[in-house]
Amino acid sequence: MPTPLSAGALAGTKVIDLTRVLGGPYATQVFADHGADVIKVEPPQGDEVRDWGPPFHEGNASYFIGLNRNKRSVGLDLTQEAGRDVLFCLLENADVLIENLKTGTMEKWGLGYQEVLKDKFPRLIHCRISGYGADGPLGGFPGYDAIVQAYAGWFSVNGDPDSGPTRVGIPMVDMGTGLYAAISVLMALQERHRSGLGQFIDMSLYDCAVSLMHPHVPNYYLSGKTPDLTGNHHPNICPYDCFHTKTVDIFVGAGNDRAFRRLCAVLGANKLPDDERFSTGAKRNENRSALTDILTEFMVKVDGEDLCARLMEAGVPAGPVLDTAQVMNADHTKHRDMAAVCDWWKGTGTPIKFTRTPGAIKTPPPQFGVDGRDVLTEHGVSQEDIEALVKDGVLVEKRRQA
């Protein structure tokens, strides 16, 4: 059953969102889903992922649509002094400013945290997301998910000998950074209850990508060996791999000796756990190839989905390899409210499940600049001044060509 709408855990929190593309918008969508007033301030050209299609809905690409629900859009030209004055107006009583502008841009515009914002808005939490940080050998360079995946070693452990080093198909550097950014902002809000002060948060795609290199970094430090391509199998656990069955490919994860014995019992391979080669996790890992061949002989003869059901009943994690359409139409996806609908919009629901203050999808992603006049009116800007801002191209209501 759908959860009744609530104000949300972050109701009363005001977020000024200068981010674009993926990492920042993913973070601010989490805030928006849980009741924060997220005002998405877009440059005159708009967030460029509005154009990252097809597919499109009313001129906006799916890439944008998947990251910007529950937000309000204001088009603002911050290269003009009047635009920066409007931003200062929006920052009055704001809790959070989050941006991923090119390193140094805010300072160039007279909006630097240390130079201006810290004193002007002492309770403000300013979160900056950049590719590599502001300094160091890569400091200031632009960062995109796949490039950072390459720099941070993700390619080197993803793929198999046939494919070679391969990009992770989900942009997890961006999304992981967005989640880290959301966590960091919530930490800063919590600390502000004690100190009464905001602070600057320096988030980089590179740092987050390196931090997510588990278990490869600890494996490297402990063994002295450089991790290589793992394919579908796990570098530390066996069997933890993809297997062919009579009907579908399935993934099985027997993470300990007890789970391995249960797997063998379901397969009718009761002698395997007593084979000296497979008697412990370490030995199974050492004899991975032989064990995989033996297990495959059992699995290729049976229905994969039925086998997964029997393994799960026995306490062994297993599941069929599904495509996106199958996932979004799956009974469990619907049961968990992860296939969401709001007006014309369809997408994933929120994975954060609160009992008292559940999040909600209340509005579809906004058209560019559609909320500009309302937002400025709320912040005390007169209708006469709004018209002047529109006339001067400061408040932008229609996207400009890049």
Nearest by Cα to 365 from 343, 349, 393, 334: 343
> Are 298 and 268 contacting, i.e. CB atoms less than 8 angstroms apart?
yes
CATH class of 14-212+340-396: alpha beta
Nearest by Cα to 243 from 270, 217, 267: 267
Nearest by Cα to 93 from 378, 353, 330, 390: 378
List phi, psi (to 5°) of 177: -65, -40
pLDDT tens for 375-385 read 999 999 999 99
pLDDT tens for 178-196 read 999 999 999 999 999 999 9
pLDDT tens for 100-157 read 999 999 999 999 999 999 999 999 999 999 999 999 999 999 999 999 999 999 999 9
Quickly state the pLDDT bin for 268 (edges 50, 70, 90): very high
Q: In this structure, what token pair is assigned to residue 119?
A: 């004193």
The pTM for the full model equals: 0.93
> Are 239 and 263 contacting, i.e. CB atoms less than 8 angstroms apart?
yes
Is domain 240-328 in CATH 3.30.1540.10, yes or no? yes
Task: In the chain, list all ranges with CATH 3.30.1540.10.
Answer: 240-328
Half-sphere exposure of 181 toward its Cβ, with a 13 Å CA cutoff?
A: 35
> Are 29 and 205 contacting, i.e. CB atoms less than 8 angstroms apart?
no
Find the distance separating the first CA and the last CA of the chain, reported in whole Å: 45
Where does 132-256 have alpha helices with state H? 145-151, 154-157, 172-195, 205-211, 216-223
pLDDT value of residue 1: 35
Is the pLDDT confidence value at 18 over 80?
yes
Catalytic residues: 174
**Percentage of the chain with pLDDT > 70?**
99
Is the pLDDT confidence value at 22 over 50?
yes
Quickly state the pLDDT bin for 4 (edges 50, 70, 90): low
Question: Hey, CA dihedral for 114, 116, 120, 126, is it positive or negative?
Answer: negative
Where does 281-354 have alpha helices with state H? 281-286, 288-299, 304-313, 324-328, 331-335
Task: In the chain, list all ranges with CATH 3.40.50.10540.
Answer: 14-212+340-396
Q: Which long-range contacts (CB under 8 A, 24 or more apart) does 287-290 make?
A: 288/233, 288/238
